[in-house]
Structure 1
Amino acid sequence: MDTDSNPPGAGVSGLAKEGEQFGRAIRRSLGDIFSEAFEIYRKNPAMIIPSLLPIAALILGIGFFASFLGLAVVIGDWGKIMAFSAVGGLLLLIVLLIISFFVAEGLTIEMIKEASSGRKVDLNYAWQTSKGRMEPLILSSILAGIITAIGYLLLVIPGIILSFALYFVAQAVMIDGRSGVDAIKTSWGFVKSNLSDSIVIILASMLICIVLQAIPGIGPLLCLLSLPYIYALATLLYLDQKKMPPVRQETSVSIS
């Protein structure tokens, strides 16, 4: 009787190596993930609150801009102060919106983790447990955004590929505690190991926002309120894979 064991694959370097940590065992169907994401959102309406942060940032930015305009009128030097007000207000608004979106995403992911574990969702608890990861989340997300933007500038197709490959950077930070390049590698490896499921989740999330934004008047608001569900889809898929056992090496036995 001869026993031959399949040798492990050759060493894999760089981004591809990150994919080894995600198993390919039997898992929940995508239909189950879509259903569970909806149930989590339905049973935990408090998840809407973080998504309102960008609206608060927008209002604050507009107020800041308006105050500069008022100052320009009072002082009377309209030209220079008006220009400074416009630039300063716009920059502040952009910064506030970017930070608020990242913080909202991090808080929501933490709340989804709690809900998926059967625990009660609490905004204060989510903040206390996740605030230490907000800085890595913001920096990692900005880094991923810069890399993706460069991909679009060089050629559209690399930009699209990077948009998909780096979609789970926030989950890598909030769930695995990764940061910077490590978070990017983890997201890349996750998408590589779960390509079809990742593509379905990403395309479905994009479709939801496109359809909602097409609704006149309230479209942007509806898209904003759909973010907890969209975050839940990605987070549940990511968590589902983290629960998978490692892949065992197959052994073939031949009897002569």
Structure 2
Amino acid sequence: MRIKLGDVFTEPFKIVGKNPIILIPVFIGIILTLLFDAIRFIGPIANFLSSIVIGISTMFLIAWIAILFDQYKKGEKIDLKNSFSQVNQLLLDIIVLSIVVGFLISLGTLAYVIPGLILALFLIFSPSALVVDKLSVTDSLKRSFSFVFNGENFLQIFLLLLVIFLLGMIPVVGLYLSIILEFILLPYIYVEYSK
């Protein structure tokens, strides 16, 4: 199914308006980002470790939100405790996925930045694929890659990520706006358009 950008910027917020409990993982993500961004200034080792923690927690929280959107789409009651339990059972897979994705993106970035950005674009839906479709780490990477290339999704996803990136450039509040959009829009897109 082709991604409709107009719907992507409205529908998930309607769902969140009816089910504000979805915002709990988003706020956890903002708090963790604030905390570990402050730790980065201690030194290079702290910067490296905080980047790893932020990467793993971001994957975990996006996977959690994907489960919440999946519950909504299936007509189930959105259950924070049950969804947390589901994503927590996959914690080891999420950690491995985070390490693999982080390594691939870092490797691509070392090869003149552009390959790293392209890999990030292709692998951005892997945590959602892991939990929603109950795939292995390797299969979730493949699924994310094929989802981005499905039909005309590439251009829509690229434009969406460009908007999120540009909003992140706004002084002071931009980072938090981009986190909110990333955590809400990416899981929604996968749950809504991947079938």
TM-score w.r.t. structure 1 length?
0.63
Is the 1:201–1:234 Cα contact (8 Å) retained in structure 2?
Answer: no
Structure 1, unmatched stretches of 5+, are 1-26, 67-84, 242-256
The equivalent residue for 2:15 is: 40
Judge conservation of contact 1:140–1:180 (CA < 8 Å) in 2.
Answer: yes
The residue aligned with 1:236 is 192
Runs of 5+ unmatched residues, structure 2:
none
Ranked by relative contact order (alpha carbons within 8 Å, sequence separation 6 or more), the top structure is: 1
Residue from 135, 152, 169 that aligns with 2:109: 152
**Which residue of the partner structure matches residue 138 of structure 2?**
181
Q: 2:74 aligns with which of 98, 102, 117?
A: 117
CA distance in 2, matches of 1:164, 1:233: 14
Moved more, 157-166 or 36-45: 157-166
Aligned to 1:219: 174
C-alpha distance in 1 between matches for 2:164 and 2:38: 31
Q: 1:173–1:183: 8 Å Cα contact kept in structure 2?
A: yes
Mapped contact 1:144–1:166 kept (Cα < 8 A): yes
Q: Are the structure 2 counterparts of residues 170 and 149 from structure 1 closer, same or farther at C-alpha, using a change threshold of 3 Å?
A: same
Deviation at 1:59, TM superposition (A): 5.7
Query: Distance in 2 between the 1:64 and 1:150 partners?
Result: 25
Matches of 2:13 and 2:142, distance apart in 1: 29
Between structures 1 and 2, the one with greater helix share: 2
Deviates more, 1:137-146 or 1:28-37: 28-37
Aligned 1:53-64 pairs, distance under 5 A: 53-58=28-33, 61=36
**Is 2:171 the partner of 1:171?**
no
Give the TM-score of the pair, scaled to structure 2. Answer: 0.80
Identity of aligned residues (%): 26
When the two structures are aligned, how many residues end up with a matched partner? 193
Name the larger-Rg structure. 1
Q: What RMSD, in angstroms, separates the aligned Cα atoms of the two structures?
A: 2.9
> C-alpha distance in 2, partners of 1:29/1:63?
37
Question: For 1:198 and 1:187, how far apart are their aligned partners in 2?
Answer: 11
Q: Displacement, 1:117?
A: 1.7
